[in-house]
């Protein structure tokens, strides 16, 4: 399979299936077309004996991918098409599961910003490479979403309560922190990536990465983990805030949280803990979809995108405060969807009415 479109370049080189994101002017933000192209490629290569492994990378220095194209979501929703976003998320989550369960080595080279949807098409793979410029994050609470794309499964696997901390705050991890948190495997200096890529194409052997891998710098998390565990083991958002208010470090964390959606943060705590109690990406994306499918009509996504991307005033008007998110509101956003649950086995058309009855 070969293909070369404006935003993505798909081809075969030797025994390697190669995917390169080629939208650097938009930080390689993922469009519906890019997700479809990646899905088609990995599906075709999965059972092709001529393909030994998959390599995904991106052009530009600033980002592997800063996430999904939320402007695409916003524009469609403003035009009255909620189903577009729901369909995009459903397709994206199915692809994330496919990557996580891929039977061949799936190698990702992630420079710069690797966030949200960018994490989903890279860091569920078997061999995850970062470098000096890597900045990995799940920042969805900033726009009224929750960590999705199977992100809660990744977050739940970190040491202690690091997953809750990263999911709630959207903290940007450097290479060492990403490895510590379980989002990446190998640190390879960026200057070595051209040689690494050439060797991978020559050998089609993922173990080639080991020859290029170097010790990463120390993680910034280790001296903070006791504080993180103490605060982020709180049973709910209001209790978490109360614990953070008692220390200088905690108050600095609250400065970040004050800008984010309280509803999203409260739901994120529950989702990360649910993923820890019931491991596996399949269960994680089904739970995440319950929130994202409701987020346009019943959540705060549109206000979050307006403030961050459209008006750029960085002053979202959230419906709740850090200490006043109603428990029934959280439960309603995360409730099962019944017949409209995310299907991972077939391409059911998304529905637009999920019966949320809790008033704003």
Tell whether 358 is covered by a domain: no
Q: What is the DSSP letter of 50?
A: T
CA distances from 225 to 157, 162, 333 (A): 14, 7, 30
CA distances from 17 to 1, 92, 241, 306, 338 (A): 8, 20, 47, 38, 38
The set of long-range contacts for 328-333, using a CB threshold of 8 Å and a minimum separation of 24, is: 328/358, 329/263, 329/358, 330/263, 330/266, 330/267, 330/270, 332/298, 332/356, 332/357, 332/358, 333/263, 333/267, 333/290, 333/291, 333/294, 333/298, 333/299
CA distances from 203 to 10, 23, 129, 184, 338 (A): 19, 28, 17, 22, 48
pLDDT of residue 217: 85
Which CATH number does the domain housing residue 212 bear? Answer: 3.90.226.10
Tell whether 212 is covered by a domain: yes
pLDDT of residue 359: 29
Q: What is the DSSP letter of 161?
A: T
Tell whether 33 is covered by a domain: yes
- Taking the C-alpha atoms of residue 79 and residue 75, their distance in angstroms, rounded to an integer, is 6
Tell whether 348 is covered by a domain: no
Tell whether 34 is covered by a domain: yes
Tell whether 221 is covered by a domain: yes
- Taking the C-alpha atoms of residue 148 and residue 326, their distance in angstroms, rounded to an integer, is 22
pLDDT of residue 216: 87
pLDDT of residue 6: 76
Do 287 and 271 touch, CB atoms closer than 8 A?
A: yes
Q: Residue 59: which domain range?
A: 3-340
Do 115 and 67 touch, CB atoms closer than 8 A?
A: yes
Provide the 3-class DSSP secondary structure of residue 142: helix
**For the chain, how many structural domains are there in total?**
1
- Taking the C-alpha atoms of residue 8 and residue 35, their distance in angstroms, rounded to an integer, is 10
| 360 residues of the chain, pLDDT tens digit each | 444 467 999 999 999 999 999 999 999 999 999 999 999 999 999 999 999 999 999 999 999 999 988 888 899 988 988 889 999 999 999 999 999 999 999 999 999 999 999 999 999 999 999 999 999 999 999 999 999 999 999 999 999 999 999 999 999 999 999 999 999 999 999 999 999 999 999 999 999 999 999 998 889 998 999 999 999 999 999 999 999 999 999 999 999 999 999 999 999 999 999 999 999 999 999 999 999 999 999 999 999 999 998 999 999 999 999 999 999 999 999 999 999 999 997 444 444 333 333 323
Tell whether 347 is covered by a domain: no
Tell whether 359 is covered by a domain: no
């Amino acid at each position: 399979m070969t293909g070369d479109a404006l935003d993505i370049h798909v081809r075969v080189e030797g025994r390697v299936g190669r995917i390169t994101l080629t939208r650097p002017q938009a930080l390689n933000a993922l469009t519906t077309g890019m997700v479809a192209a990646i899905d088609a490629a990995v599906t075709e290569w999965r059972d092709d004996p001529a393909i030994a492994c998959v390599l995904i990378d991106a052009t530009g220095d600033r980002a592997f991918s800063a996430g999904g194209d939320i402007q695409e979501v916003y524009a469609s929703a403003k035009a009255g098409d909620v189903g577009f976003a729901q369909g995009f998320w459903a397709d994206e989550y199915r692809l994330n599961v496919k990557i996580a369960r891929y039977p061949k080595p799936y190698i990702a080279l992630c420079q710069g910003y690797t966030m949200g949807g960018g994490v989903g098409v890279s860091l569920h793979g078997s061999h995850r490479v970062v470098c000096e410029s890597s900045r990995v994050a799940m920042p969805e609470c900033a726009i009224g979403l929750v960590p999705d794309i199977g992100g809660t499964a990744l977050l739940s696997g970190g040491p202690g309560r690091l997953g809750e901390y990263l999911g709630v705050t959207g903290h940007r991890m450097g290479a060492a922190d990403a490895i510590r948190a379980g989002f990446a495997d190998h640190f390879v200096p960026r200057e070595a990536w051209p040689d690494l890529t050439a060797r991978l194409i020559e050998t089609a052997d993922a173990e080639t990465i080991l020859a290029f891998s170097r010790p990463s710098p120390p993680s910034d998390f280790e001296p903070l983990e006791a504080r993180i565990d103490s605060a982020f083991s709180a049973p709910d958002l209001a209790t978490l805030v109360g614990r953070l208010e008692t220390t200088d470090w905690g108050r600095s964390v609250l400065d970040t949280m004050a800008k984010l959606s309280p509803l999203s943060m409260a739901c994120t705590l529950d989702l990360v803990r649910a993923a820890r109690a019931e491991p596996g990406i399949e269960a994680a994306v089904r739970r995440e979809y319950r929130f994202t499918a409701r987020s346009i009509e019943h959540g705060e996504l549109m206000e979050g995108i307006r403030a961050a991307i459209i008006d750029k005033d960085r002053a979202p008007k959230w419906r709740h405060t850090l200490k006043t998110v109603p428990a029934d509101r959280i439960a309603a956003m995360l409730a099962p969807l019944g017949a409209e649950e995310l299907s991972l086995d077939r391409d059911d058309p998304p529905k637009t009415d999920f019966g949320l009855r809790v008033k704003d």
